Amino acid sequence: MTHDVLKTIDDMFELVIRRGASDIIFTPGVPPAIWVSGEMIITEFEMMEPGRIEEVFMPLLTAEQTDLLQTVGDIDFAIGKHGVGRFRINIHRQRGTLSVAMRFIPQKVPDFEQLRLPERIIEFARLPRGLVLVTGGSGAGKSTTLAAMIEFINDNYAYHIITLEDPIEYTFRHKRSLIEQREVGVDTSSFASALRHVVRQKPDVVLIGEMRDLETISAALTAAETGHLVLATLHTTSAVQTINRIIDVFPAEQQGQIRVQLSAILQGVVCQTLLHDQLTDGMVPAVEIMAPTPAIRRVIRDSETHLLAGMIETGQSQGMQTLDMAISRLVADRRVTTEDAMANAQDPEKMRRLLAA
C-alpha cells in the first residue's frame, strides 16, 4: 500500500532524518527512491507525476535559475532548514520532463573522529600554505571531508577563510576564524572569476568546491604559490590520476612549467571512497593518502608519475597508504566484506595478496 506523495521540502527533510537517508531521487513514473548506507530503496510513497514535480520544485528557483534550466537543461542549487540541515538539489530534464536529485547535508559538520578519517589528514589542515586535494567519485564524501578540515581550522586557528562553492553545502559559524562563503551563480559568476580576485581579499585559507577547468586550476595553483592554503576537489580516483589530470588539462607547451609549479606547492592528496560498514550498517571511508616527499616532488617534476603508486606503498612511515591498503585494513577490522573489497580494488591481484597476508 502506497502513502501520499511527498508534498513539501519539509516532508523531504523529515524523510531523510527518519530513514537515515543521504539522497532522494524523483523521476516520473516510479515512486521516489532514497539511498540508505549506499543502497537504493524504492519508497512506499506514490510516484510524482511530471506536473507535480514542477509544482513542488519550480517555485524554489529564481527567475535566472529558471531561465538557465530552460536553456541548459539542468540547475544546481541548495536550500536549508534551520536546525536540520540543507539539501543540495539538481533539477534536470530527461525525456522532456523534470527529474530531481537531492543530497542531504546535516547542519552539524562531522569531526574527524565521527568520519573515521586517518589522523594524517588532520596534519594537512594544520598547514600554513600550499595545495591539498581531496578527490574521489560522486558521493565519495569529498565535501564532508573538506568541511571537517575547515571546521578543524575554524576551531584551532584565527584565520580568514573564503570558500567558493556551487552550491554552498555545509554552513559554518565563525569561531576562532572568520569565514566567508561565496556561491557560484549568486555571489560570483564562476570559480575562475572569484579566484582571480581572491588574493586581494586577504584570505589565509581558500576552499574551492571543484577544480573544473584549466582557468580554475591555473588560478588555484597561483593562489597556493602566493602563500595561501588552498583546499580543493577533483573527480579523480587515485593520487596518480589526480596529478596527471591537473597536468594534462594544460597545453603541451605549458606542461613542463606546471609540473615544476605543482611539485613545489602540492602538500597532500586524499583520494577516498565510501563502503558499507558491517559494524554500524552505515558508511565507512577508505582513503588513499599521498604526502609529497622530496622523491615524490622529483617524480612529479620529471614526469615519472607511473612511479608514484609504489612510492605511496613504501611511504607508510610518512602516513601514506594506497586505497587498496586502506580497504584491506577495513577488511581486517571486519568493517568491510571481502566481496566489497574486491569490487572496489584498484588492483584486484594486489588486493588478493593484501587480504591473504
Checking if the pLDDT of 3 tops 70, the result is no
Q: What percent of the chain has pLDDT over 70?
A: 99
Cβ atoms of 165 and 187 closer than 8 Å: no
217-242, pLDDT tens digit by residue?
Answer: 999 999 999 999 999 999 999 999 99
pTM of the model: 0.91
Listed in sequence order, the residues at least 6 apart from 100 whose beta carbon sits closer than 8 Å to its beta carbon are 24, 25, 26, 53, 57, 89, 90, 91, 92
Rg (CA), the chain: 21
Q: 252-265 and 294-301 helices cross at what angle (nearest 10)?
A: 170
Domains and CATH numbers, the chain: 9-106 (3.30.450.90), 112-356 (3.40.50.300)
262-318, pLDDT tens digit by residue?
Answer: 999 999 999 999 999 999 989 999 999 999 999 999 999 999 999 999 999 999 999
Q: Mean pLDDT over residues 189-209, rounded?
A: 93
Beta carbons within 10 angstroms of residue 156's beta carbon: 14
No. of H helices and E strands in the chain? 15, 13
H or E element: which one contains 258?
helix 252-265
Q: Which three cell numbers stand for residue 288?
A: 588513499
Cβ atoms of 121 and 289 closer than 8 Å: yes
ω into residue 28 within 30 of 0, thus cis? no
